[in-house]
Amino acid sequence: MVAPGNVALDRMVTDSRAQPMDGNKVRADAKVLLDDDVKLSSDLLSLKAQVGAATQAHIEAGRSDLTKEIADLRRIIATTTDADLNTALNTFQADGNTDTADFAQIRHDLGLAPPPTF
Protein backbone atom coordinates (compact mmCIF):
# COMPACT_ATOMS: atom_id res chain seq x y z
CA MET A 1 0.00 0.00 0.00
CA VAL A 2 2.82 2.44 0.83
CA ALA A 3 5.64 1.07 -1.35
CA PRO A 4 4.92 3.26 -4.43
CA GLY A 5 4.88 6.39 -2.28
CA ASN A 6 8.12 5.42 -0.58
CA VAL A 7 9.83 4.99 -3.96
CA ALA A 8 8.45 8.32 -5.19
CA LEU A 9 9.51 10.06 -1.97
CA ASP A 10 13.03 8.64 -2.22
CA ARG A 11 13.29 9.88 -5.80
CA MET A 12 12.06 13.37 -4.91
CA VAL A 13 14.41 13.66 -1.93
CA THR A 14 17.38 12.51 -4.02
CA ASP A 15 16.54 14.91 -6.84
CA SER A 16 15.96 17.81 -4.45
CA ARG A 17 19.45 17.32 -2.96
CA ALA A 18 21.22 17.20 -6.33
CA GLN A 19 23.63 20.03 -7.08
CA PRO A 20 22.51 21.84 -9.06
CA MET A 21 18.91 20.96 -8.37
CA ASP A 22 16.67 20.51 -11.41
CA GLY A 23 13.43 22.17 -10.29
CA ASN A 24 11.41 20.68 -13.15
CA LYS A 25 12.53 17.19 -12.18
CA VAL A 26 11.62 17.80 -8.52
CA ARG A 27 8.20 19.12 -9.54
CA ALA A 28 7.62 16.03 -11.69
CA ASP A 29 8.67 13.82 -8.75
CA ALA A 30 6.23 15.73 -6.53
CA LYS A 31 3.41 15.03 -9.00
CA VAL A 32 4.13 11.28 -8.88
CA LEU A 33 4.20 11.38 -5.07
CA LEU A 34 1.00 13.43 -5.00
CA ASP A 35 -0.80 10.79 -7.08
CA ASP A 36 0.53 8.04 -4.79
CA ASP A 37 -0.57 9.93 -1.66
CA VAL A 38 -4.08 10.47 -3.02
CA LYS A 39 -4.35 6.73 -3.70
CA LEU A 40 -2.96 5.89 -0.26
CA SER A 41 -5.50 8.16 1.40
CA SER A 42 -8.29 6.42 -0.52
CA ASP A 43 -6.89 2.99 0.37
CA LEU A 44 -6.73 3.97 4.04
CA LEU A 45 -10.34 5.09 3.90
CA SER A 46 -11.30 1.65 2.58
CA LEU A 47 -9.20 -0.05 5.26
CA LYS A 48 -10.83 2.07 7.97
CA ALA A 49 -14.14 0.29 7.42
CA GLN A 50 -12.49 -3.06 8.18
CA VAL A 51 -10.79 -2.34 11.52
CA GLY A 52 -11.71 -1.55 15.10
CA ALA A 53 -12.40 1.89 16.56
CA ALA A 54 -8.90 2.49 17.94
CA THR A 55 -7.28 1.70 14.60
CA GLN A 56 -9.90 3.82 12.84
CA ALA A 57 -8.80 6.82 14.92
CA HIS A 58 -5.15 6.19 14.01
CA ILE A 59 -6.07 5.88 10.34
CA GLU A 60 -7.87 9.22 10.50
CA ALA A 61 -4.77 10.80 12.06
CA GLY A 62 -2.67 9.35 9.24
CA ARG A 63 -5.10 10.60 6.61
CA SER A 64 -4.96 14.05 8.22
CA ASP A 65 -1.17 13.93 7.86
CA LEU A 66 -1.58 12.92 4.21
CA THR A 67 -3.90 15.88 3.64
CA LYS A 68 -1.13 18.23 4.80
CA GLU A 69 1.41 16.42 2.65
CA ILE A 70 -0.87 16.60 -0.39
CA ALA A 71 -1.25 20.35 0.11
CA ASP A 72 2.54 20.70 0.43
CA LEU A 73 3.08 18.70 -2.76
CA ARG A 74 0.60 20.89 -4.63
CA ARG A 75 2.61 23.92 -3.47
CA ILE A 76 5.83 22.30 -4.72
CA ILE A 77 4.26 21.56 -8.11
CA ALA A 78 2.92 25.13 -8.42
CA THR A 79 6.24 26.87 -7.71
CA THR A 80 7.83 28.87 -10.49
CA THR A 81 11.14 29.93 -8.93
CA ASP A 82 13.93 28.08 -7.18
CA ALA A 83 13.42 30.20 -4.07
CA ASP A 84 9.72 29.29 -3.91
CA LEU A 85 10.57 25.65 -4.59
CA ASN A 86 13.08 25.58 -1.72
CA THR A 87 10.55 27.16 0.63
CA ALA A 88 7.90 24.63 -0.37
CA LEU A 89 10.36 21.74 0.04
CA ASN A 90 11.28 22.98 3.53
CA THR A 91 7.60 23.10 4.50
CA PHE A 92 7.08 19.61 3.08
CA GLN A 93 10.01 18.28 5.10
CA ALA A 94 8.86 19.96 8.33
CA ASP A 95 5.35 18.57 7.96
CA GLY A 96 6.72 15.14 7.03
CA ASN A 97 8.71 14.99 10.24
CA THR A 98 5.48 15.04 12.24
CA ASP A 99 3.57 12.22 10.54
CA THR A 100 5.92 9.29 11.19
CA ALA A 101 4.38 8.46 14.58
CA ASP A 102 0.85 8.19 13.16
CA PHE A 103 1.89 5.76 10.43
CA ALA A 104 4.03 3.77 12.87
CA GLN A 105 0.95 3.42 15.08
CA ILE A 106 -1.20 2.22 12.18
CA ARG A 107 1.43 -0.37 11.29
CA HIS A 108 1.57 -1.46 14.94
CA ASP A 109 -2.23 -1.74 15.08
CA LEU A 110 -2.15 -3.98 12.01
CA GLY A 111 0.67 -6.16 13.38
CA LEU A 112 3.21 -4.91 10.85
CA ALA A 113 6.86 -4.01 11.37
CA PRO A 114 7.69 -0.35 12.03
CA PRO A 115 8.13 1.84 8.95
CA PRO A 116 11.64 2.24 7.57
CA THR A 117 13.62 5.28 8.64
CA PHE A 118 15.23 7.54 6.08
Q: Number of folded domains in the chain?
A: 1
Judge whether 116 lies within some domain: no
Q: How far is CA 54 from CA 10, 57, 63, 89, 110, in A?
A: 30, 5, 14, 33, 11
Provide the pLDDT for residue 118: 46
Judge whether 114 lies within some domain: no
Longest CA pairwise span in the chain (Å): 48
d(CA 38, CA 23): 22
Judge whether 93 lies within some domain: yes
Q: How far is CA 5 from CA 48, 73, 83, in A?
A: 19, 12, 25
For residue range 15-35, what is the model confidence (pLDDT) as tens digits? Answer: 999 999 999 999 999 999 999
Judge whether 57 lies within some domain: yes
d(CA 115, CA 73): 21
Inform me whether the pLDDT recorded for 117 exceeds 70.
Answer: no
Judge whether 117 lies within some domain: no
For residue range 37-78, what is the model confidence (pLDDT) as tens digits? Answer: 999 999 999 999 999 998 999 999 999 999 999 999 999 999
d(CA 34, CA 76): 10
Judge whether 115 lies within some domain: no
Judge whether 86 lies within some domain: yes
Judge whether 43 lies within some domain: yes
Provide the pLDDT for residue 103: 83
Domain, as residue range, for 84: 3-109
